[in-house]
Amino acid sequence: MSIESIIAATAVDPEMQSAIESIQSGVWAKHHPFYAVREELAVTPNSLLLRANKLIIPTRLRNETMTHAHKGHQGIVKTKQALRTKVWWPRIDRDAEEFIKHCHACQSLGHGDPPPPFQQHKLPSKPWDRLHMDFCGPFPTGETLFVVIDSYSKFPEVEIMKSTTVSAVTNRLDRIFAVHGIPTEIYSDNGPPFASDAVKKFMRNRGINHRLVTPYWPQANGEAESFMKPLGKAVKAAKMEGKDWKEKLHGFLLAYRTTPHCTTGVAPSQLLFNREVRTNMPTFVKEVDIDYKILHEQAKINTSEKQSKAQQYTDKRRRARKANIEVGMKVLVKQERKNKFSTVFDPTPLTVTKVNGTKITAARHDLTTTRNVSHFKRFYSKDESADEQECDDSASDVTDDEDNNEQPQDIPRRLTFKPELLNFGHNLGA
């Protein structure tokens, strides 16, 4: 971009010409976009407009200027710094942020939006009403652990399986149901064999509401996922000690089931069976009559308090924010990183077709995707940016962002200087 092109664009820019006239006459309208910095402005002999030692860029050249500053797709801070060292115009910070927000490459390569507020399942009203199931493994020896856990009592059932076929899974479920009864609903992931038609038929025949959680979002099946860590640790510890992990698994399950759970404050076996399960741990206190109605009420209170604290802590740590994605919006979806050239998000936008809480379905001609909202980010097109700019520029009361609005605390303010009038002609060849 040459000085001549800036001079030519300045000559036909109404805002710039108005500022030049105000500088020369000394009369300013208070609503003028340049009013807040009027003491720092000057005009060169060849009709360039300056703020201190920075060129003021006319409207039609601002996008081109930002394109130069954004070469290499540096972030917002560096792009602003590149602009501020040479040029200025009203709302330059906001324009730079909007320019980068609508950059297709930066949207595909950048981070996702802040995650939505943490959501937890409501505690069921009674034991063995809602279950969560998942697999742990397979292990190097070929076995896989099939985990079924009661959401109310946190009581786990674990089956050692050589096969995870539909028939093997449904057979183990029937075995578990024969002991505890048939639940109202079961949550699982979308992997095989849970998403199969045969499993759907199995659940339907037993009157079970089978809910498949959002793909690639294990938090939605959190009850089963949270149990995997202590379960895996017990198996690894047994192997490390040179013991048969299958035998030690039973001891782990007895200890886990009879130890007060960190969420409910009550042992899972007590909440499920309404009795204390005897272990080989010595005790001095004789058994006392327990009012299990009070125990269950206390467990519900404990669970509610724990969930509330966990949600507050998680939302604060992740800086959670309610997602602003609606049907009809263009979005990008996270993709698997296949190699070093892969982008974080698939660069080809999709259109949102369905919003169900935090579960989003989006589609384009060759793909329909359902994911948790945190896997999506809104896509901003260049056309949308131009429309927003036109709307914003029509406002008559816009003032200089740099001088009148609070700046982010982590970005230092740039220095300003009075115009060096004697150097204009020398520097610009006037």
CATH number of the domain where residue 60 is located: 1.10.340.70
Write out pLDDT tens, residues 225-235.
889 989 999 99
Candidate from 13-22, 117-126, 233-242 with smallest mean pLDDT: 117-126
Shared domain for 300 and 353, answered yes or no, is: no
Shared domain for 264 and 339, answered yes or no, is: no
Write out pLDDT tens, residues 155-169.
999 999 999 999 999
Shared domain for 94 and 175, answered yes or no, is: no
Shared domain for 167 and 58, answered yes or no, is: no
Answer yes or no: is pLDDT of 236 > 50. Answer: yes
Whole-angstrom distance, CA of residue 93 vs CA of residue 348: 28
Answer yes or no: is pLDDT of 206 > 60. Answer: yes
Contact 342, 108 (CB under 8 A): no
Q: Give the pLDDT score at 387.
A: 52
pTM (two decimals):
0.62
Look-up of token digits 């200027």 = 65
Q: Give the pLDDT score at 61.
A: 94
Answer yes or no: is pLDDT of 413 > 80. Answer: no
Answer yes or no: is pLDDT of 143 > 80. Answer: yes
Q: Give the pLDDT score at 402.
A: 39
**271 — phi, psi (to 5°)?**
-70, -30
Whole-angstrom distance, CA of residue 311 vs CA of residue 118: 6
The pLDDT of 373-398, averaged and rounded, is 62
**β-strand partners of 56:** 88
Give the closest residue to 86 by CA, choosing from 51, 59, 45: 51
Give 80 or 319, the one with higher predicted confidence.
Answer: 80
**Which CATH number characterizes residue 147's domain?**
3.30.420.10
Is 403 within the bounds of a domain? no
Give 391 or 321, the one with higher predicted confidence.
Answer: 321
Give 424 or 19, the one with higher predicted confidence.
Answer: 19
Among candidate residues 346, 362, 378, the one where a domain is terminated? 378
Write out pLDDT tens, residues 180-195.
999 999 999 888 899 8
Answer yes or no: is pLDDT of 45 > 70. Answer: yes
pLDDT confidence band for 341 (50 / 70 / 90): confident
Answer yes or no: is pLDDT of 424 > 60. Answer: no
pLDDT confidence band for 74 (50 / 70 / 90): confident
Shared domain for 256 and 167, answered yes or no, is: yes
Candidate from 136-150, 194-208, 352-366 with smallest mean pLDDT: 352-366
Answer yes or no: is pLDDT of 173 > 50. Answer: yes
Is 409 within the bounds of a domain? no
Shared domain for 185 and 83, answered yes or no, is: no
Is 73 within the bounds of a domain? yes
Answer yes or no: is pLDDT of 428 > 50. Answer: no
pLDDT confidence band for 385 (50 / 70 / 90): low
Is 415 within the bounds of a domain? no
The amino acid at 62? R
Is 206 within the bounds of a domain? yes
Range of the domain at 346: 329-378
Is 259 within the bounds of a domain? yes
| 3-state DSSP percent of the chain in helix, strand and coil, to 5 | 45, 15, 40
Write out pLDDT tens, residues 283-336.
766 666 788 899 999 999 988 888 777 667 666 766 666 777 889 889 888 888
Whole-angstrom distance, CA of residue 364 vs CA of residue 214: 19
Tell the burial category of 35 from Cβ atoms under 10 Å away from its Cβ (0-12, 13-18, 19+). Answer: middle
Shared domain for 366 and 248, answered yes or no, is: no
The pLDDT of 73-96, averaged and rounded, is 90
Shared domain for 38 and 73, answered yes or no, is: yes
Instruction: Provide the 10 A C-beta neighbour count for residue 211.
Output: 14
Shared domain for 177 and 272, answered yes or no, is: yes
Is 424 within the bounds of a domain? no
Whole-angstrom distance, CA of residue 134 vs CA of residue 229: 13
Shared domain for 273 and 228, answered yes or no, is: yes
Is 278 within the bounds of a domain? yes
Shared domain for 231 and 134, answered yes or no, is: yes
Answer yes or no: is pLDDT of 71 > 80. Answer: yes
Q: Give the pLDDT score at 427.
A: 44
The pLDDT of 83-104, averaged and rounded, is 91
User: Which range, 163-177, 385-399, 404-418, is most confident?
Assistant: 163-177
Q: Give the pLDDT score at 401.
A: 41
SS3 state at 92: helix
Q: Give the pLDDT score at 388.
A: 52
Give 269 or 286, the one with higher predicted confidence.
Answer: 269
**What's the domain count of the chain?**
3
Answer yes or no: is pLDDT of 51 > 80. Answer: yes
Shared domain for 165 and 281, answered yes or no, is: yes
pLDDT confidence band for 261 (50 / 70 / 90): very high
